[in-house]
Amino acid sequence: MSGAINLSDTIEKYLPAELGGFMRLAGEAAAGRKQGFYLVGGVVRDLLLGQTNLDLDLVVEGDAIALGQALAQARQAKITAHPRFNTAKLQWDGWSVDIATARSESYARPGALPDVKPGRIQEDLSRRDFTINAMAVYLSPGRYGELIDLYGGRADLERKLVRVLHDRSFIDDATRIWRGLRYEQRLDFQLEENTLRLLQRDVSMLDTISGDRIRNELELVLKEKLPEKVLRRAEELGVLQRLHPSLKGNRWLSEKLAQARHLSHTSPPSIGIYLALLTYRLSGQELECLISYLRLPKSLSQVLRDTISLKDTLQALADPELKPSQVYQMLHGCSLPAITVNLLACEASTASQHIHLFLDKLRYVKPALTGDSLILMGVAPGPGVKQVLDLLRQARLNGEATAKRDEQAMVSDWLARNRIKVPADKSNVERRHEP
């Protein structure tokens, strides 16, 4: 099938002229160095599907950094080179492209990162995950736009199949299991029969992958438009359970993730919200296991922990007799995503009314008096100031103080109760400062 198809019109149709122009220029520059130059991976797949994908992955049969430097000069682009991987990223006027050196790979042991050597495009394509991602397009002047399809990727796109290139693929790199589910669900494809069999055979190979790499895959899943589809399929195939045996990708989760999208002002919702919904049913101890396995960053871990501890408060929050100040007390200090997740998850309508009240109103309530004004009124600097401010906030929350003068009266009362004698020159000072 190699060379039978030319995609130059498709490139023109689905990619901006700036990127098309850049690829032609780069192909000529590489040809001047007697190096083959190609567009590879996901963007080729998406071009054949008639979709725009601006994530250009380019491969050169030669030194990617040296070529990148020459191109950066021609385009006045910023270059970020990674000598360890022999790759370069070019950025200019809001555009960004990645250039890599064509490479061949071998795996010393399952799950390890591969040993890498410079190679030809054929070798570079043979190390890829799925046939639909293992196509390339020539960018050299004489053959610009010609499709290289060594593994039947185009036919698999037509048949809507996700197929590995060989039977050891998941053993070499089990992150491909998660990747396969992502493509299957995103594109509404099927895992090809033998690929599905291999996946089920090799699912335990996921345990050979470091937590960091699994976290990375999970984040990619949660960045999908409909992550619940991937998670549901992952449960069905026993993949999710490799993360933690108590995780479920069930209908409850699907509904909650969809509701999170409706509720979210920043669309899509943060990874924290999705992940906290996924881990909602875990016990505190199970959650800690998962956090340390995935080596989750501190702030994300805090969201998950807050979510679980707030879950334990939901029953108390469902008490219809609660005063607003008690609702405030239970919820303030919790991270916002944790509150949102509990709002989505809670079944009791009173608890959800209380959470709404907190989110819409209570969290913004503040006393009119400040710490400075309390000191001017005679409260000694130190912990007493916070104590009085808390009292004032409580009174505001419960509607017992609605104006500044109510607060001033409360402070005088507090001073009197605490037997603090206010010097004459301070007794009127706050009133004098009033606007």
Chosen residue from 154, 176, 215, 305 binding ligand ATP by CB under 6 A: 176
| CB of 175 or CB of 307, closer to ligand ATP | 175
| CB of 124 or CB of 228, closer to ligand ATP | 124
Residue numbers 269-308 binding ligand ATP by CB under 6 A:
none
- In DSSP terms, 101 is beta-bridged to 60
Do the beta carbons of residue 91 and residue 75 sit within 8 Å? Answer: no
φ and ψ at 11, to 5 degrees? -60, -45
Q: How far is the CB of 46 from ligand ATP (least distance, A)?
A: 7
Tokens 């080729």 map to which residue?
44
Q: Which stretch binds ligand ATP (CB under 6 A): 125-133, 246-254, 395-403, 418-426?
A: 125-133
Chosen residue from 35, 87, 133, 335 binding ligand ATP by CB under 6 A: 133
Number of residue whose CB is nearest ligand ATP: 42
Q: How far is the CB of 183 from ligand ATP (least distance, A)?
A: 7
**Cα distance between residue 297 and residue 415, in whole Å:** 46
Does 154 bind ligand ATP (CB under 6 A)? Our answer is no
Beta-carbon count within 10 A of 425 CB: 7
Nearby residues of 416 by Cβ (< 8 Å), 6 or more positions away: none
Q: How far is the CB of 340 from ligand ATP (least distance, A)?
A: 27
Query: In Å, how far are 155, 241, 326, 353, 418 from 341, measured between CA atoms?
Result: 43, 22, 20, 14, 42
Q: How far is the CB of 95 from ligand ATP (least distance, A)?
A: 16
Q: Which stretch binds ligand ATP (CB under 6 A): 171-179, 188-196, 288-296, 298-306?
A: 171-179
**Cα distance between residue 354 and residue 325, in whole Å:** 11
Q: How far is the CB of 87 from ligand ATP (least distance, A)?
A: 12
Does 163 bind ligand ATP (CB under 6 A)? Our answer is no
Query: In Å, how far are 273, 314, 355, 386 from 362, measured between CA atoms?
Result: 22, 17, 9, 18
Nearby residues of 39 by Cβ (< 8 Å), 6 or more positions away: 11, 23, 56, 57, 58, 136, 137, 139
279's torsion region: left (phi>0), alpha (psi -120 to 50) or beta? alpha
Residue numbers 32-91 binding ligand ATP by CB under 6 A:
41-42, 55, 57
Query: Alpha-carbon torsion 168, 169, 171, 177, what sign?
Result: negative
Chosen residue from 124, 129, 202, 430 binding ligand ATP by CB under 6 A: 129
Residue numbers 335-374 binding ligand ATP by CB under 6 A:
none
Concatenated DSSP letters of 14-37: HS-HHHHHHHHHHHHHHHHTT--E
Does 175 bind ligand ATP (CB under 6 A)? Our answer is yes
Q: How far is the CB of 238 from ligand ATP (least distance, A)?
A: 20
Chosen residue from 128, 232, 256, 311 binding ligand ATP by CB under 6 A: 128
**Cα distance between residue 347 and residue 318, in whole Å:** 10
| CB of 19 or CB of 327, closer to ligand ATP | 19
| CB of 81 or CB of 134, closer to ligand ATP | 134
Q: How far is the CB of 57 from ligand ATP (least distance, A)?
A: 5
| CB of 160 or CB of 332, closer to ligand ATP | 160
Residue 247 token pair: 């995780």
| CB of 37 or CB of 358, closer to ligand ATP | 37
Number of residues forming the site for ligand ATP (CB under 6 A) = 12
Nearby residues of 227 by Cβ (< 8 Å), 6 or more positions away: 221, 257, 274
Site string for ligand ATP, 177-216 (x = CB under 6 A): --x-------------------------------------
Q: Please report, as ranges, the residues that interact with ligand ATP according to CB under 6 A.
A: 41-42, 55, 57, 128-129, 133-134, 173, 175-176, 179
